[in-house]
Amino acid sequence: MTLEVRTARLTILVDPRKKALFERLCAEDDATPSQVMRRLIRRYIEERTGRPWVPSEQANRRKSRSDVRRGSSKGSAKSASRGRV
């Protein structure tokens, strides 16, 4: 699985009691609050778009593969330079 670039920050304000409970529940699941929030955001995006979330590198690979199937020289060169056909 490809790791996503995680450079964007999302700051939210929540009730302190809700935050404390959320952190405790995350710890019980051996997950960080950030991991749980990323999972929730990914699931929301997938539900709203009707498509699975694909990290950008995988999306680029899928596009290259479809270009190769369509006979695009650009996609073929990209795949060949990576040692893939």
Whole-structure pTM value: 0.63
Which position has the higher pLDDT, 84 or 41?
Answer: 41
First vs last C-alpha separation in the chain: 20
Question: pLDDT tens across 3-40, in order?
Answer: 788 889 999 999 999 999 999 999 999 999 999 999 99
Closest CA to 49 of 36, 59, 57: 59
Domain limits, the chain: 14-53, 55-85
- Tens of pLDDT along 36-82? 999 999 999 999 999 999 987 655 565 556 555 666 544 444 444 44
